[in-house]
Amino acid sequence: MKRAQERVREIIDILHKAYPRSRTALSFETPLQILVSTILSAQCTDKRVNKITPQLFRKYRTPHDFASADQKALEKEIRSTGFFRNKAKNIIGSSKKIVEDFDGDVPDNMKDLLTLPGVARKTANIVLSSGFRKVEGIAVDTHVGRLAQRLGLSKEKNSDKIEKDLMAIVLKKDWLDFNYMLVNHGRKVCPSRKPRCPACQLKHLCPSANKFYPDDELRINK
C-alpha cells in the first residue's frame, strides 16, 4: 500500500505540472447545467455536448423548466448526443425530483444525488466537484478507468471498484483534480487505441508502456 501511495504521489506531481489548470471540458455556469451536461456526455464527447447546451440552457433555465419539458421536443434537441430518449427521460425525471424533493435546488451531497434518475457515482462526483467544489470521491469515466488500469493503480473493471482502489491510494486533497488530470492525459497522450508512450511523462512509472512499444523502441527500462 505504501509503495502504491508513493508511486501515485509521483504520478500526481507530474500531472500537476503537465496540466496545472485541469478542469472539466464541459461548459456550464450552474450546478443544474453541469448535471444536465454530464448526463448528456455519456457515450458522447464533451465537444459535442458543448455545441448543443448553449441553446438548450437558454430555453431551459431552471429545474422547473426541464421538469415540465415535452419529452419528444427535448429528445429532438439533444438527439446528436446519442441515446437521446433515455437521456431526455433522465433529465426530466431528475428535474422533477429536484423540484419535488429538494425545493428546486440540485443536491450538494452524494446520497441525495444518487436518488436522481440516471445519476450514478461518476455523474454525482462530477456535479459535486465542478458544481459545488465538494469532494466525496473520484469520478471514474472511461479515461480514468483506462489509465488506472494501464498505470497499475487498479485491476478492476467496474467503475465503482476502480474508484474504491483509487481512493485508497490517492490523498483526499488530490481527489478533486485527479479525474481532470487523468482525463486530460488520456485525451492528449494516452488514448484508447494508440497511446503515445514515447512522449509520455509517466512512461517510467507505467507498467503498460512496453506492452505498446517494444523495449528497443521505447527504451524506458534501460
Residues taking part in catalysis: 122, 141
Whether residue 143 contacts residue 186, with contact meaning beta carbons closer than 8 Å, is answered with: yes
CA atoms of 102 and 115, how far apart (whole Å): 11
Grid cell for residue 146: 483506462
Whether residue 91 contacts residue 39, with contact meaning beta carbons closer than 8 Å, is answered with: yes
CA atoms of 29 and 34, how far apart (whole Å): 7
State the amino acid at position 45 in one-letter form: T
Element (H, E) at 24: none
Whether residue 125 contacts residue 136, with contact meaning beta carbons closer than 8 Å, is answered with: yes
User: Would you give the DSSP letter of residue 43?
Assistant: T
Q: Which of 95, 120, 159 shows the shortest CA–CA distance to 38?
A: 120
SS3 label, residue 210: helix
Cα torsion 38, 130, 124, 102: sign: negative
CA atoms of 55 and 53, how far apart (whole Å): 5
